[in-house]
Every structure is written in C-alpha cells, then in structure tokens.
Structure 1
C-alpha cells in the first residue's frame, strides 16, 4: 500500500505588526496549536503528523517569533489572542479545537473566553494561561511558594549543565536527541528578548478561576510530574474549579510533555477530542 502524505500548505497572514506565519496540514475538523516561549510552529511536528489524517491541523509562530515578523521592542502577550482570532477568521473555520503549550495557553484561553461558542475543546498543556498561579493554589499560595523555590533551584542546576528548563534534566537524559531539537528550535527566535516576554506573561496573568464559573468550554489540562516551569499540581486544582474541566498528569515528563512524551500526550488529546463530538 502506497502512503500518501496529508495535504499541506503554508501562508502568511498580514497583521498590523507584520506577517503571522502559519502552516495547514490535513483535513477534517479544525485543530490549532499555539506554541510556548521556547518554540514556534515546528514545536508541534509530532502532533501535526499524528492528527493530520483526521483533522485540519494549523500551527503558527506567534508574533515576534520567526518566521513571523519581528516586532520592535518585542511582542506583548496581550495581543496574541487577537492574532489567533484573525487567523481563524482568515481560514474561515466555523469552530475550532485549541491546544496551547505554556505561553500558548495565554493565546488559546483568552480566545476561548472571548469566543466560547466557537471552541469545541480546549487543551492547556503545562499552563494556566492568563490565570494567576498563586491565586489558583488552593492552599492560598503556600504550596506554590515552596514549589517555586525548589523548581528555581532545579532549573538553575540544569542551566549550569546546558539543560533547557522546558525539558529538564531527567527528560534531557532520557532523550538527548529531543533535547537537542528543542534547543535548536528555541534558537530560531534569534534576538527576541524572552525575559521581556516573560514579564509580559506575568503582567497579563491576572485572572482568577472565580471568573470562569460560567466557562463551559470542555477543557483538558495536561501536566508533567517533573516540570520545573509550571507547577503540575495546579492542573488538577484548576480543572476541579472549572464547570467542564479535567486534568491528567504525565509523571515522567517535564514542562513539554507534548514534545517529550508525544505518544502519551497525543493519545490523551485524541480521546478528549473524541468525547467532545
């Protein structure tokens, strides 16, 4: 039997800041992927290949992240959701399923809050998006504070040994090739000031779960048990507070379970999407 690759196209959507780069692969219901601070559209190579036979997969590079246009002074995360809205309108999707990793959670959660009727399913991977982390901690912030101190020390040790925090030491040791690829994709951002972007992410993460008592978009939070960037215990806490939330922990994954444990991640997302039809 001859294998035929899913249809694939690339495009650039003109926006006020410049061009937003995107790729479309496959056919079927629309499934869009929003990458994290250490990535771009290529971050989702294992997801697009898996889902394209049954979904129209769209991956894009956030504004300021190559190959989208650079922005003087860097991007403001508050603008991400409007770029996603413009892209969805441009591609004329009547409804969508959204997957956001880390920084991408800001993009997809804000879009879903603003356009809940258009979002069939929402996946937040290693992220609480624009929700305030400390305020989302059921302990009132004490557990989060202890986690943050320990995570900072682990991340510093990793950096001293050339390990990207978005994978972590254990994941890098298990999969050095994946760690190399992740770091290579990260460098494609060039001179982008990621510290400044992080400041913007912290500034815009001010929502509380009490604001989402009427948020009925089916939402899956996936977290990695070895994450030193996002506190995995918040996934279940946030899911429990949402009307239609659920959470799953991948114990032997760091901050990037979609990248490190793609088969497990894809299976969880696939089953979740199937339940929302």
Structure 2
C-alpha cells in the first residue's frame, strides 16, 4: 500500500462551506458519513481505497470543520448538499459509499439523480423505520434533551461498537469521551440530524433504484440490525448483499480489513 498525500479544501455550496479531504488518484469515490457527519469516520478506509481511487471525504454542514450551527431538514436536504458539493467540485459522477444516514443520503441521490452515481454502497443503512429503530432514536433523543450530550454520546458509543473492541480503548474513559464531546455539533444541529433519521422512509420507492448497489451490514449491529440490510438488498433490483459475522454498527472501524475487502471487491468489479 502506497501512502498518498491528502489535499484539504473548503468548498462553498451556497449557504455553507464544506470541509473536504481528497486522497489518491483514479475514479472518484465519495465516502458519506452517518449521523456523526464527520469525514474522519472513514480514516480506516481512505488509505486502502486511495490505492485504486480518488477518495473524497467531507464533514456535513454543521459538523466537524464545516460551517457550524447549520441544521438539516431531513435526509433529502442532506442529499442536496452532496449534489451541491459534487457540482462545486466538478464531479459529474461518483461511486458513493454511504454509512447509515450516509446510506439514506445515497438512496435519495440514486432516486432523484441516478446519472450522478456509478455505483452505490449502502453500509449499515435502512430503507425505512420500524418500531425498533423509531424507539431507539426516540430514546436517544430523550437522553440528549434530558441528560445532555455526554450521556447521549456515551450511550451511542456503547451501541455502535462491540464490547470486545470498545473495552480496551476505554482505559481512560474521561479522555475517550472528551474527544467525542469535542466533536459534538450542538444541541439544535444534533436534534435536526436525529430527526432526519426519524423521518427517512423510502421503503416504497427504493425498488426504483437502478444504480448497481451493494448492501453491507453486520450481524451484531444494534443500531441498524442486519434485517435492514437484507431488506434493502431484497427491494433494490439486482442489489448484492454481504453480512459480516461481527463488527457492530461501526464495522468499517471495528473489522476494517474484511470490510474494506468486501467493499473494494464491489467497487472494482
């Protein structure tokens, strides 16, 4: 693996400036993070993917190093941000890998602007809510409002990562959580992002997705359980399904090697 240099840009999409990082060369692959909204989520994918592609990561509006205090109005609004970013960067067509909420964004783009996508990877994502997902995010919302960001981020971290992976990292629990708290975008922004999860429902439309699609998830995912991945693969014509034995919701970070191998096999196929 060759270590590629990374270019950092700040891209104007009209009502926000988006922090973008570009690594590697070749056909463009756009990695879209989930609820946390930070391109750094993909740190374990960038180097591996950059051996074959131009890898583009970015912080969503209101998150990370992008313009702060910018709320979102649902997954479709977030998808429009991605399209505006592509336009501003002269990216006519990309391979899009979307994790969780990033997968919801990818579904909207595949339906509204399929000509902009070469391939679509839906990573630990979902087509529409069920009682499990609705109650999970209702509870997380209540924790955020009633107990504050630290309790919200702590419970979210425990949900997203298997204990055998998380436990060794928490020798200093305070330092571990303070790092996450520093990246918290603010109450109003985070509540708007949770609402985007609540309201995402394309279950009756994803059968119209014609972009080559790969659905990947993990059997022990507690946030978007594997049934959601299987449902997407069943509803989207000719979609491929791949369920990892373990890795949890953050499988791109927990079981990096097997995750990267599976996704790269699809992107290069």
Give the TM bin, normalised by the shorter chain. Answer: 0.7 to 0.9
> Please, what TM-score do these two structures have when normalized by structure 2?
0.82
| Correspondence 1:252 to 2:250 | no
CA distance in 2, matches of 1:70, 1:232: 33
Q: Partner residue of 1:115?
A: 113
Q: Partner residue of 2:73?
A: 76
Q: Partner residue of 1:43?
A: 41
Q: Is the 8 A contact 2:30 2:57 kept in 1?
A: yes
Q: Is the 8 A contact 1:94 1:118 kept in 2?
A: yes
Q: Which structure 1 residue ranges, 4+ long, deviate > 4 Å from structure 2? A: 144-149, 174-177, 179-183
1:179-205 CA-partner distances (Å, limit 9, x unpaired): 9879835641342442342123212x1
> Please, what TM-score do these two structures have when normalized by structure 1?
0.80
Alignment size in residue pairs? 252
CA distance in 2, matches of 1:234, 1:223: 9
For residues 124-135 of structure 1, the aligned pairs below 5 Å read 124-128=122-126, 131-134=127-130
1:72-110 CA-partner distances (Å, limit 9, x unpaired): 5x2223321111112212222232100111121222221
CA distance in 2, matches of 1:95, 1:116: 9
| Correspondence 1:273 to 2:246 | no
Q: Partner residue of 1:200?
A: 196
CA distance in 2, matches of 1:49, 1:60: 15
Segments of 5+ residues of structure 2 without an aligned counterpart are 144-150
CA distance in 2, matches of 1:211, 1:264: 31
Q: Is the 8 A contact 1:123 1:221 kept in 2?
A: yes
Q: Is the 8 A contact 1:33 1:44 kept in 2?
A: yes
